[in-house]
Amino acid sequence: MRYAFFSGKLAAAIPIIIWISVFRYTTAEVSISPMYKTLVPPFLRNSIFSQLPVGLRYMLLSALGFALMAACVKLVSSTGMPIFQIVAARAFISLIISYLDIKRKKIPVWGNNKPLLVARGTVGTLGLICVYYAIAHLPLAEATILQYLHPVFTAVLALLFLKERIQLSTIACIVLSIIGLIITVKPNMLASSAVELPTFAVSIAMLGAFFSAVAYTIVKRLSRSEDSSVIVFYFPFIALPLSLTLLGGEIQIPTLFEAALLLLVGIFTQIGQVCLTKAMQTEAASKATAYSYIQVVFSILLGAFLFNELPSVWTLLGGSLIIVGTLINIFGSQRAAPSK
């Protein structure tokens, strides 16, 4: 029953995967691919997506990739797969893809600022472990909202270490998005009758948000001297040996179903990571991460599609606030730098 259910959903999701691959090459730096011209009708080629700023396009693709990754992590963790094994499988897949991408570009593998690259990989790995643990031990909506505390941390870290000026539009986006995120969780987190979440799991989720913010800030600093593919490569390069060490001998032989999920975790995470790195290179750190709130909307759609979770009125209201906040951020950025 489980295999039949998932295989049908996976077959229906194939167009989503294709569209991600196609839109991955629709930015200002890369010409439209033949596949894009073949699969995407002209009215979509000239849609609002192509009119959005490059950084926002990358962040939308990143958010979708991470939302699909979270759904796969939730599914595979429900089979009893150890969290460290999921991280290791994801890192192994990403390591291969990243290495091949570097070879394709014919650039040095190890980059220039090796200490900072290693720090980015280490902090990113710790954050990833925390995020996967939260997804496995908390309801998906609550895990997502706690994970998305990282833009607040990022904005503060960008101000302190990157000397970036936080625009009013970014502040408005963060405030509206946080309110929207809280409402999206069917406001049981604010109600007196709400079910108390496990304290340890919540603490791990918040720690993961902080590690993610530190990693994003380091990526912004590295983007001044490193190619995006090198930055991405160091993440799985550190994550694979670290997660295997923490896993010890508790390796679970995956079934075909679990192996497929692990493969998708690696693919979707790689898409999200590459697009995130590109977004951080084209936008201010605080603004780029503010765009990532759109992942919650994708998660709502995936929840309805994969888990038959129909969004409530509160969820729709929260999602609307997130979209409004994102639009304020976009137009505020364009007004502040119209020539960009």
pLDDT score, position 310? 65
Q: Is the pLDDT of residue 125 over 80?
A: yes
Lowest mean pLDDT among 108-117, 270-279, 288-297: 288-297
Q: How confident is the model at residue 273 (pLDDT cuts 50, 70, 90)?
A: confident
- Would 128 be classed as within a structural domain? yes
pLDDT band at 39 (very low <50, low <70, confident <90, very high): very low
Name residue 73's amino acid: V
Asked if residue 35 belongs to a domain, the reply is no
Q: How far is CA 104 from CA 16, 31, 63, 101, 227, in A?
A: 25, 17, 25, 5, 13
Per-residue pLDDT for 67 more than 80?
yes
Residue-wise pLDDT for 79-88, tens only, equals: 889 999 999 9
Tens of pLDDT along 186-219? 556 555 554 556 778 878 988 998 898 888 788 8
Number of domains in the chain: 1
CA 272 to chain centre: 5
Residue 5 lies in a domain: no
> With contact defined as beta carbons under 8 Å apart, do 91 and 232 qualify?
no
pLDDT digits (tens, 9 = 90+) for 310-337: 656 766 777 678 767 766 766 675 566 5
Domain enclosing residue 177, as ranges: 52-336
pLDDT value of residue 4: 47
The reply to whether 15 falls in a domain is no
More confidently predicted of 340 and 46? 46
Q: Please check whether residue 57 lies inside any domain of the structure.
A: yes
261 domain residue, yes or no: yes
116 in a structural domain: yes
Looking at the predicted structure, is the pLDDT value of residue 287 above 90?
no
pLDDT at 197: 65
pLDDT for 92 = 92
10-33 tens-digit pLDDT: 544 544 544 444 444 443 344 444
Pick from 93-97, 106-110, 143-147: least confident: 143-147
pLDDT at 317: 78
* Residue 93 included in any domain: yes
